[in-house]
Structure 1
Amino acid sequence: MKNRGWTMLLCLLLSIVSSSSSSSGGGEQSLTANGKVLELDESNFDLAISTFDFILVDFYAPWCGHCKRLSPQLDEAAPILANLKKPIVIAKVNADKFTSLARKYDIDAFPTLMIFMHGAPEEYYGPRKADLLARYLKKFVAPDVSVLDSDSAISDFIETAGTYFPIYLGFGLNESMISKLAIKYKKKAWFSVAKDFSEDTMVLYDFDKVPALVSLHPTYHEQSIFYGPFEEEFLEDFIKQSLFPLAMPINIDSLKTLKDDDRKIALTIVEDETDEKSNKIIKLLKAAASANRDLVFGYVGVKQWEDFADTFGANRKTTLPKMVIWDGDEEYFSVIGSESIDDEDQATQISRFLEGYREGRTIKKRIGGPSFIGFINSLIGMRTVFMIVFVVAVVMLIQTINKEEPLRVGTRDRADHASGSDSEAESLVHRSGDKED
Structure 2
Amino acid sequence: MRWADWSICSWVQGGVVGQDSSTGAPFRGNMEDSSNRVLTCSTTEEEEEGPTGLCYLAGLLLLVPVLLGSAFVEELDDTFMETTEPEEIWLIQFYAPWCSFCKQLDPVWHQIGSELRSLGSPVRVGKSDATVSTGLAKEFKIRNYPAILMLKNNVKFNYPGSRTKESIMDFADRVSGPPVRSLSSTHLFQHAISHRDVLVIYVGATSELKGNLTAAAEELIVHTYFFSASREILPQEVTLPSLPAVLLFKDGTYFIYDEEQDGDLKSWIKRERFPNFFLIDGYTLYAMGESGKLVLLALLEERHLCEENLRYKHLVEKVATEHKDTYSRKFYFGFMEDSSYIDGLIMGEALVPSLMVVNLSNDGYFLPPAPIETELQLLDFLDGVLDGSVEALGGNGFTQRVRRFLYETRMTLMPVFRDAPVLGCFLIGFPLAVGCVFCYLCIKNRPGSADDDEDTPLLAPSMQRKKKLTEKKSD
Shorter-normalised TM range: 0.5 to 0.7
* 1:257 partnered with 2:290: no
Q: For the structure 1 residues 48 and 36, does the alpha-carbon distance in structure 2 shift closer, same or farther, using more than 3 Å as the test?
A: farther
* Distance in 2 of aligned mates of 1:339 and 1:190: 40
Q: Shift of the alpha carbon at 1:313? A: 7.4
Equivalent runs, 1:4-403 vs 2, <5 Å: 36-42=72-78, 44-61=79-96, 64-79=102-117, 83-84=120-121, 87-126=122-161, 128-130=163-165, 132-158=167-193, 162-163=195-196, 166-171=198-203, 173-176=204-207, 177-186=209-218, 187=221, 188-195=223-230, 197=232, 202=235, 206-209=237-240, 211=242, 213-217=246-250, 221-226=251-256, 228=258, 233=263, 236=266, 238-261=268-291, 263-272=292-301, 275-287=309-321, 288-301=323-336, 304-306=338-340, 308-309=342-343, 311-312=345-346, 315=349, 321-333=354-366, 338-343=368-373, 345-346=374-375, 348-366=376-394, 373=407, 401=439
CA RMSD of aligned residues (A): 4.5
3-state SS, counterpart of residue 449 of structure 2: helix
Aligned residues: 352
Please tell me the residue identity of whatever aligns with 2:114: E
Does structure 2 retain, via aligned residues, the 8 Å contact 1:80–1:134?
no
* Distance in 2 of aligned mates of 1:401 and 1:371: 25
Residues 238-268 of structure 1: CA deviation (Å, up to 9, x unaligned): 533321112344422203422432x142333
Q: For the structure 1 residues 265 and 397, does the alpha-carbon distance in structure 2 shift closer, same or farther, using more than 3 Å as the test?
A: farther
Does structure 1 retain, via aligned residues, the 8 Å contact 2:180–2:217?
no
Q: Shift of the alpha carbon at 1:58? A: 1.8
Counterpart of 2:4? none
Gaps of 5+ in 1: 1-34, 422-431
Q: For the structure 1 residues 307 and 300, does the alpha-carbon distance in structure 2 shift closer, same or farther, using more than 3 Å as the test?
A: same
Which of structures 1 and 2 has the bigger CA Rg? Answer: 2
Q: TM-score, normalised by structure 1?
A: 0.64
* Distance in 1 of aligned mates of 2:411 and 2:330: 27
Greater RCO, CA 8 A, separation 6+: 1
Please tell me the residue identity of whatever aligns with 1:260: E
Does structure 2 retain, via aligned residues, the 8 Å contact 1:241–1:293?
no
3-state SS, counterpart of residue 193 of structure 1: strand
Q: Shift of the alpha carbon at 1:280? A: 0.8
Please tell me the residue identity of whatever aligns with 2:238: F
Please tell me the residue identity of whatever aligns with 1:69: P
* Distance in 2 of aligned mates of 1:376 and 1:413: 39
Q: TM-score, normalised by structure 2?
A: 0.59
Q: For the structure 1 residues 254 and 376, does the alpha-carbon distance in structure 2 shift closer, same or farther, using more than 3 Å as the test?
A: farther
* Distance in 2 of aligned mates of 1:38 and 1:109: 21
Does structure 1 retain, via aligned residues, the 8 Å contact 2:94–2:146?
yes
Residues 57-96 of structure 1: CA deviation (Å, up to 9, x unaligned): 1223456522432332232244157x45xx3222222333
Counterpart of 1:12? none
Q: Shift of the alpha carbon at 1:134? A: 3.2
* Distance in 2 of aligned mates of 1:405 and 1:340: 57
Does structure 1 retain, via aligned residues, the 8 Å contact 2:72–2:110?
no
Gaps of 5+ in 2: 1-70, 417-423, 457-471
Equivalent pairs: percent with the same residue?
Answer: 16
Please tell me the residue identity of whatever aligns with 2:113: D
Q: Shift of the alpha carbon at 1:415? A: 4.9
